Chain A
Amino acid sequence: MTGKNELRRYHAAVWDEPIVMELGHPGRRGQVFAEAEPAVVKAVGEARDLIPAGMARRAAPRLPELSEPEVQRHYLHLSQETLGMMGISLFGTCTMKYNARVSEAVAARPELAEIHPHQPEETLQGVLEILHGFDLILRELSGMDQFVFQAGGGADAAYTHCCVTRAYHQARGQLQQRNEIITSIQAHPCNAATAAAAGFKVITLQLEEKGYPSPAALKAAVSKRTAALLINNPDDMGIYNPDIKEWVRIVHEAGGLCFYDHANFNGVMGKLRARELGFDACMYMLHKTFGAPKGGGGPAVGAYGCSKALAPFLPAPVVVREDGKYRLDFDRPQSTGKIREFWGNVPQVMKAYAWARAMGAEGINEASDISVLANNYMDKKLGEIRGLTRSNPNAGKWRMEMTRWSLGKLKEDTGVGTAEVANRMADFGVDPYWMSHEPWVVPEPFTPEAGEMYSKEDLDYWIAVIARIVQEAYEDAGQVKSAPHAQAIHQIKGAPLEDPEQWAMTWRAHLRKRGNGAAGG
């Protein structure tokens, strides 16, 4: 933001925006639809009479009744009551990026927004060309032989791998025997969770001295029951596991498959290829590394790629190019079946393709350079702030594109922990950081990731915000603990969220329970 280390004055918009269910007036309309034409009514009669007996709705839904501009204004106010990356967001593990407006403009065109996946292939050549073109780009980045985009996020891609793993071992008659998936405690929780949801027993390796499990621990874990390894590298600490090739060898020797969760690709893109390290499959999050927007949690894409040997087991369809034309190949008898209906969040794939084209090989290389440089720059500066300690102090001087930090010392000294610091950050127009996945391997963690978008001035500003909050913690801990002070609302009450007598996931539940002392209204 600013070039000087002076902090801006900031206050979020406060609209005291009522809940939409409280707004409106009976009879007001935000959309109207044409009545059926007389000839239609003449032919079929009244719509009511077309519904089977007893299946017509009796009481109208109690939805709000608003005019169109009232609806527009209400949701504009809600957008303004969302900080939403309008300042600086260094949300580690999610790789915050610029989401190019040109891609949004193109995605909104009818050539993408108004097409149907079952249209005849000759009317889908443009979109198929982009899907295939992006497949080729990811193949070059990963060394894999085929990508699909069906998975609706990174976790769904991990799940895809578990399904592909099942199909692979099933085809070899070994699924019953190979019912274990190995991961590490530092891998994203979705790796363990999707493995379990796919029916596997999960073996979780613990971290050792160097910050990652040892090859010896992995050797002790593999057996004839091993179906696959699901692992990320580098981890969220910014540590690269140099034994990873050995890991792949150990798992392959035991007859398992190796899946590279490339959530943390930003620091290594253009530097290494998953297939060249021996992995059978990998996953990229297009809404993270490849510049498609996050949407506050999707629509997202976990692009899943694999080797030739695994390709027959991929969910169908895959896009193929033949004689200068593109077509969808559904005829895949060994396929694991569908992970999700249709072919994936196609507009997001287009945006990722646009990002990769705009960056090119040189831009992608430069982006990983800048990400790693910027993180180490931040490490240096954050290390100068009292109360902060870097995880794994013995792991070497330089980290990858993010680093896990601890506020354990700050908490000991002042009683202010990482959640409180996060709440306070927003008061400076900076989105709260990512702390850490469960379980916390360092006390009071936070994980900044600079990425390639933000300027050096932005990084300096972000560091200055942390320094200011730490200073506050030492001088006036109450100011931080009672934060935020400049947001649309005050600190929320946590207890009702976990109390069945008070929680209310809908307005109608709230109306029934509000006597129980839960919400504000």
Chain B
Amino acid sequence: MRPNESSAHPWMANSLADIKQAMLREIGAKSIEELFQQIPAGHRLKTPLKLPRQLKSEAELKRHLVSTLARNGTCEQYLNFLGAGCWQHHVPAVVDEIVGRAEFLTPVWGSPQSDHGRNQAWFEYASQMGELLNMEVVQLPVYSWGCAIGHAVRMASRLNGRHEVLVPSLIDPERLSVIRNYCEPVEMARHIDIVQIAHDKKTGGLDLRDLRAKISPKTAAVYFESPGYLGMIEGQGAEIAKMARSHGAETIVGADPISLGVLQPPADYGADIAVGPTQPLGVHMNCGGGVGGYIASRDEEKYVRQYNGFLVSITGTAQPGEYGFSLSCSHQTSYGMREEGRDWTGNSVYLWAIANAVYMSLLGPQGFREVGDLILSQAHYAAKAIGRIKGVRIAFPKGFFKEFVVGFDGTGKTVARINKALLRRGIFGGKDLSKEFPEFGQSALFCVTEIHTKDDIDRLVAALKEIVGT
């Protein structure tokens, strides 16, 4: 071997024999193995590590990854109408550039001064969410919408000492499953009962008679969504919040932030705590790995003291007139108080908070208005056209945002069969609801957003007509 030849690994600067020797010499050890003397021999590997062949060459590694992933079909190749908690929206190129910046992408924490720009970006996430929501406190996002609901329900339960939450019956079963874990099994001392409220058969909103029958002084919180899982805008938000208040319960509302340029923010109809997804604001679908959840409330100390995660506050510095930012009320988190803290916190999706901040700055008030209008128009255009196909029915033909339920019972075909036929035509059909909500029969949840064109929708309608044979 020539002196400058080595088998060094490109990601390990010290993977050179002479450097290791120099370090061993410096510390006075004979071998690296000697340094592991703390681990008893009987604890070491029983059989040597066997892993797939090392791909040290970047060219080789890239080839392997790309060729493996090429077996996926993408929502760019296929015309996609899937939503249901992970939605295809436009991601502006500037968002991708900013979240790809190494200063944001790779580090963990520094000090409020060395992390100043990042902390400001986080504050701008919260500030802009606060404008969309008309609320003054916004926490850095938690893992997902479902997790945000879970934490919000536990906040409510701690606030009023009650152990029951009312939720809609038309809720994403996936989200509900997450909430169930947060509410703990019945065996646990602080278990929170989940009671489901029937839906209004005409509007898809809450059935107020059922709500009235079930709400009581035991109710910690009433949770509802607008738009909800099946796309429906709740038209009775103010009445629900009023009813909750009169029973001493908190009102928690889930809302898709991309709808808030055109729809009323939850605070305006009485929400105490708002929650929802952050992925629509500039985060790619990432196979479901783009989700995040926001939590927001009024700036009242009793609420602030119940947040589980990171609140970034503006403050001053030693220099008059200069802004600084840092964590507020951090002692109440699990970092400060371990099991006495509010639930728990840790890594979440804070890089996506920066994506959200950039997205909101790019859109501004007019952008949110435009994107909301476009989604509403196109989704309704799609629902109307699909609803005219013989044997096809739109479960709730009015009052939705970007998603709607298409029933295929009249066609005599299952959703599974229809989606298979759509796939052959290069289309991902809506999410099959037939097992989740058998009451809607053979039905699917379709999602239409600003990324679709009229031609896309017409193509879907033509394909459906062909498949159902009209």
Contacts and interface: CB of A to CB of B under 8 A. Distances in A.
B329 interface: yes
Nearest to A450: B14
Interface in B68-114: 68-78, 80, 82, 84-86, 88, 90, 92, 94, 96-114
A357 B65 CA distance: 10
14 contacts: A31-B92, A54-B235, A82-B107, A84-B103, A117-B285, A155-B346, A297-B108, A357-B55, A358-B55, A366-B15, A432-B111, A456-B13, A489-B323, A518-B314
Contacts of A234: 38
B160 interface: no
A491 to B, nearest CB: 5
B191 to A, nearest CB: 7
Interface string A45-59: 001101111111110
Interface stretch (A94-102, A251-259, A440-448, A465-473): A94-102
Contacts of A295: 99, 104-106, 349-352
Contacts of B335: 189, 437-438
Given A57-B262, A163-B181, A83 B316 contact: no
Contact of B98 (A75, A294, A344): A75
B174 A519 contact: no
Contact of A487 (B37, B113, B288, B321): B113
Contacts, number: 778
Given A190-B344, A518-B316, A72 B136 contact: no
Contacts of B88: 114, 116
Interface stretch (A213-221, A303-311, A345-353, A406-414): A345-353
Please name the 5 residue pairs, one residue from A and one from B, whose CB atoms are nearest each other, closest first: A360-B54, A342-B288, A199-B188, A84-B103, A155-B346
A229 interface: no
A360 B15 CA distance: 14
A374 B16 CA distance: 13
B336 to A, nearest CB: 6
Contacts of A37: 453-454
Given A299-B351, A350-B65, 9 more contacts: A21-B128, A37-B453, A51-B233, A60-B366, A79-B98, A141-B51, A377-B23, A431-B107, A455-B14
A503 B328 CA distance: 7
A110 interface: yes
Given A96-B108, A104-B105, A380-B27, A509 B317 contact: no
B216 interface: no
A485 to B, nearest CB: 10
A476 interface: no
A40 B131 contact: no
B62 interface: yes
A51 to B, nearest CB: 7
Contacts of A222: none
Contacts of A490: 113, 317-319, 322, 324
Contact of B346 (A44, A99, A190, A242): A190
Contacts of A158: 344
A64 interface: yes
B417 to A, nearest CB: 13
A410 B390 CA distance: 82
Contact of A82 (B13, B34, B103, B314): B103
Contacts of A228: none
A505 B119 CA distance: 11
Nearest to A238: B38
A153 B351 CA distance: 13
B71 A57 contact: no
Interface stretch (B217-225, B240-248, B371-379, B405-413): B371-379
A512 B148 CA distance: 27
Given A79-B117, A341-B178, A492-B112, A508 B346 contact: no
B446 to A, nearest CB: 12
Interface in B267-319: 268, 284-292, 299, 301, 304, 310-319
A36 B378 contact: yes
A61 to B, nearest CB: 4
A435 to B, nearest CB: 11
Contacts of A86: 102-103
A362 B101 contact: no
A488 B117 contact: yes
Given A85-B103, A361-B50, A488-B116, A366 B9 contact: yes
Contact of B85 (A84, A175, A176, A342): A342
Contacts of A300: 347-348
A503 B78 CA distance: 48
A503 B299 CA distance: 9
Interface residues of A, number: 230
B127 to A, nearest CB: 4
B299 A118 contact: no
A80 B142 CA distance: 26
B391 interface: no
Nearest to A87: B114
Given A199-B185, A365-B49, A346 B288 contact: yes
B181 A336 contact: yes
Given A63-B363, A505-B138, A497 B12 contact: no
A519 B126 contact: no
Contact of B74 (A64, A115, A508): A115
A468 B268 CA distance: 56
B185 A175 contact: yes
A397 B368 CA distance: 61
Contacts of A39: 454
Contacts of B36: 271, 372, 398
A345 B140 CA distance: 18
Contacts of A334: none
Contacts of B147: 152, 340
Interface stretch (B207-215, B380-388, B462-470): B380-388
Contacts of B174: 338, 341-342
Interface in A86-129: 86, 89, 91, 94, 96-100, 102-120, 122-127, 129
A441 B361 CA distance: 44
B450 interface: yes
A344 B374 contact: no
B3 interface: no
Interface in A195-236: 195-200, 202, 204, 234
A20 B367 contact: no
A379 to B, nearest CB: 8
A404 interface: no
A250 interface: no
Contacts of A179: 187-189
Contacts of A333: none
Nearest to A169: B187
Nearest to A269: B49
Nearest to A510: B314
B177 to A, nearest CB: 4
B11 A98 contact: yes
A61 B235 contact: no
